[in-house]
Chains A and B, each alone.
Chain A
Amino acid sequence: MALVEIDELHLTMTSYDGAAHVLAGVSLSLERGEIWGLVGETGCGKSLTGLTLSRLVASPPARYLSGAVRFDGRDLLAADEETMRDLRGRRIGMIFQDPTTNLNPAFRVGTQMIDVALHAGRVDPSILGLAAGASRGARRRAARDLAVSMLDRVGIVDAARRIDDYPHQFSGGMRQRVLIAMALIGRPDLIIADEPTTALDVSVQAQILALLHRLAAEDGLAILLITHNLGVVAQIASHVAVMYAGAVVEAGDVRAVLKSPRHPYTQALIAALPRADVKRGALAGLPGVVPDLLTPPPGCRFLPRCPIGAADCARAAPGLAPVDTGQRVACFRAERAA
């Protein structure tokens, strides 16, 4: 049984303009030790998919229509807030894009980490290395020690002293390390990293990616890496899922997908990557725009922009189906696209 299973998830967001069908059949499954890259353009629903795993999408305006989200066999869509809180920070850690805004500027780094450690320790006392009935003072001391060792582990030099610094006293890359340490405190099974390197300098990006890669290997973590950057995926992911307009259109082993993409959208994405052997200015652009999710086109949502689409693609939305190179593709004409 997979650690994470998202099965045909449909979700709408209601606004003044009406209900937008923003997730239309998202399917995804992660095993321990796998790093999944979830790629797609802005607004395709990749961040939302990450947030549904922690049930952090406010509802209303969101409404779950159908499908399932399971974590370690547990149905998360049926879970109450208490259950979810026990998972968050303990078994599911999250890392977000901008390390500057994701740490509270008015509190010491240590204060924020210790609160997360105490929460994880409340769910599972063994995380703090204490028995169930330990005193408040003992728990605080253990939480602080744990926070220091985590900072040390993510590569913060002189962690025992730096823990009492304020966020603004760290550089951007160091702040992201602090946030990674915070996400790791509860010894989670799954880390959801939403564009963790987008706000950082290119040189720092590589360090953070290497760190995530190392941690995943050491702890056997599953990582869901949400990004719009296929380059990042190619660097550290073992698997990749491509999303378009609220649905996963292609998913599978990272080498198979990048080397022989079968969905026309994936093909366009890869063709748009700047490459050394292609002349500048020869980037393949995709005609048309992302559909309006308030009134999505019938059938396959990619049809209006698809180079190989046919009239019958508008009858129904294609489901994910395996192709000869191993990955799964949501396209009626995927075999022809080879």
Chain B
Amino acid sequence: MYAITRLRLGKTVVTVIMLALSVLFLLPFVWMLVTSFKTENEVFVYPIQWIPKHWNAVANYKEVWFGRYPFYLYYWNSLKISIATTLVSCTVSSLAAYGFSKVRFKAGKWLFFIVLATYMVPGQAILVPQFILYRNIGLFDSHIGLIILGSFSVLGTFMLRQFFMGVSNEFIESAKIDGAGHFRAFWSVALPLVRPGVATYAILRFIWTWNDYQNPLIFLRTDRLYTIPLAMQKFTSMSGEFYSLIMAAAVSAIVPLLIVFIIGQKNVIEGIALGGVKG
């Protein structure tokens, strides 16, 4: 009895300490949110006002969303690019994953090795040739170009292959004995079985694409094509000292991610733990 009480007490103490520590991780976000509601004069008032004295939320967000850098436009761009990239990437990767795990052909092993080996190439080491290529084939400064750039993921193929390998070969064989070709076996037998895996990858790919800063920075030029992270940065350099506006923009940039994360939390955490993957 005594031991159990002690254990509970210990657990409570650790929980309290960890709560205090977690503040370090949440406080910057709270500060960001609170600041986005303030008038500019009160941003740096010290001691920090955790509840704004004068609420300026409507004006701040209105300026961010419909001002000189209209965020509604960049939201739409980011949404379009993220959804399209996720769809194409899931299709390409699950097809390849099936081919590399469930179709027995001699070249398969080698091709998989080649694909996997390219994972070693740091994206930034090939930026310049990609840039030159894009300028020459007319994909520079277009959303299509960005979507294509994000659609061939070695990581996605590798992850989904792990899932497909978990599908018993007997299912595939019996589908084929029933006269189905590989495509039917893929579509109506294997794919439904790995749906959780595809969902996990889809959520991760969406988050990574939404957050991507580097590719839009290099492959987009026109203002109205900007994605959220890029717009966020341009907005910051333009608004200079208007920190309440900048924070309203930051809140706007983070909120959709939070929603996706909270909805797909289990998938995200599992996916990251499973593949030990990193965007």
Partners in one complex: no
Q: Measuring CB to CB, which residues of chain B are less than 8 angstroms from any residue of chain A?
A: none
